[in-house]
Homo-oligomer: A and B are copies of this chain.
Amino acid sequence: MREGPDIARIASLVGDPARANMLNALMGGTALTASELALEAGVSLPTASSHLSKLTEGGLLTLASQGRHRYYGLAGPQVAGMIEAITGVAEAVGPKRVRPGPRDGAMRVARVCYDHLAGEQAVAMLDRLVDKNILVRNDNEIRLGPSAASHFAAIGIDFYTKPRRPVCRACLDWSVRRSHLAGTLGAAILDKILLEKWARREKDSRAVIFSPPGKQAFERIFLS
């Protein structure tokens, strides 16, 4: 019964299914609002709110108020690392590793991360956009390059429709260890991909499956 840092307190915060789902959702690196997290966790808004104050109080989340929106995000890389560690154990200990399965593979290639594209394809896309100087990246901050407006207008992508959110944002990818593009631009690109039916969303999953011609079109526009 010796005393150390209160590990039980932290672990029990993660130990509730609703809170665990929220934390999982936040592992993408983008801060989310209370309603989004309520949906993610499958609980009502009051319940979510209660969980969120506990997580914030407990030091696992940070809160950024922007107008009437309150964005919750992981408190830092250390917290993310802890969740990864727990996930690792859960995976090792949990029900036998079913074969990687087509879904898992597809998830690595491309999936939805809140409202934008994540996975290998998304990481490659951001790389290419930065290479071509359409976007300018400075560590985790991404800005539009000089040719961005005309470039995206030309391919029919409009990202000025939701002025509240940042246009660009770096979002750490879970499968690859690199960043992909979030923000309204990221969201607009995902919209475009789905609208043009280059890809469809796997039902009840985050996986995004490209059709062969869709993949060609996507790669021609974003990876060439």
A interface, CB within 8 angstroms of B? 1-2, 4-17, 19-21, 23-25, 39-42, 58-60, 75, 78-79, 81-94, 139, 172, 174, 177, 204-206
Q: Evaluate whether A8 and B16 lie within 8 angstroms (CB atoms) in the complex, with A81-B85, A204-B2 already known.
A: yes
> Would you give the shortest CB distance from A48 to chain B, in whole angstroms?
12
Would A5 and B90 count as touching, CB distance under 8 A? yes
Interface of A is mostly: helix
CB <8 Å contact, A15 and B11:
yes
In angstroms, how far is the closest chain B Cβ from the Cβ of A4? 6
Residues of B contacting A25 in the complex (Cβ-Cβ under 8 angstroms): 2
Q: Take A1-B40, A12-B15 as given contacts and tell me if A85 and B87 are in contact as well, using a CB distance cutoff of 8 Å.
A: no
Number of copies: 2
Instruction: Flag if B12 contacts A12 (CB, 8 Å).
Output: yes
| Contact indicator B89/A78 (Cβ below 8 Å) | yes
Residues in B with CB closer than 8 Å to A174 are: 5
Partner of A21 from B1, B89, B139 at Cβ < 8 Å: B1
Chain B residue with minimal CB distance to A15? B12
- CA–CA, A4 and B81, complex, Å: 17
Across-interface contacts of A19 in B (CB, < 8 A):
8
Using Cβ atoms and an 8 Å threshold, which residues of chain B touch A1? 21, 39-42
Question: Do A21 and B2 have beta carbons less than 8 Å apart?
Answer: yes
